[in-house]
Amino acid sequence: MSGVDFEQLRARAIEISKLAYAPYSEFPVGAAGLVDDGRIVSGCNVENAAYGVALCAECGLISELIATGGGRLVAVSCCNKLGERIMPCGRCRQLLFEHGGDELLVDTPIGPKSMAEVLPLAFGPTELNHVKEQR
């Protein structure tokens, strides 16, 4: 038992997915994250006529995390408009990893998994610091 209220996170993800701007894919997404100080941060996807520059819901979540004081992410949930859990895309796993590390709990369709399980051997700040320390 992680003690994380995933139902609450999912409810927030579903709520914010209703604000998504997804006229091209028609695939609204909401993401919600629990921060180590108890805050809940969230975001929705924001698409663009230049398709490739779309912002995933997790980008909004990370922006809110930083803009409201930072902290470490403990758990995240991403949902589609049917309220189903979806996996963060590869790029977003990387974004989330930066702020939650290997221990971050991801609410996958088959239950909570650690980030280490869904993004094994991730590249992160440790690798950069390792080289910096050689100077």
Question: Which parts of this chain interact with ligand THU (CB under 6 A)?
Answer: 22, 25, 27, 29, 45, 47, 54, 56-58, 78, 88-89, 92
Query: In this complex, which beta carbon is closest to ligand THU, that of residue 25 or of residue 69?
Result: 25
| Catalytically annotated residue among 7, 15, 58, 103 | 58
Is 47 a known active-site residue?
no
Query: In this complex, which beta carbon is closest to ligand THU, that of residue 71 or of residue 88?
Result: 88
In angstroms, what is the minimal distance from the CB of 122 to ligand THU?
A: 16
18 φ, ψ (degrees, to nearest 5): -70, -15
The per-residue DSSP string of the chain comes to: -----HHHHHHHHHHHHTT-B-TTT---EEEEEEETTS-EEEEE-B--SSGGGPBPHHHHHHHHHHHTT---EEEEEEEETTS-B-PPPHHHHHHHHHHHGGG-EEEETTEEEEHHHHSTT---HHHHHHHHTT-
Query: In this complex, which beta carbon is closest to ligand THU, that of residue 74 or of residue 78?
Result: 78
In angstroms, what is the minimal distance from the CB of 46 to ligand THU?
A: 8
In angstroms, what is the minimal distance from the CB of 37 to ligand THU?
A: 25
Catalytic residue ranges: 58
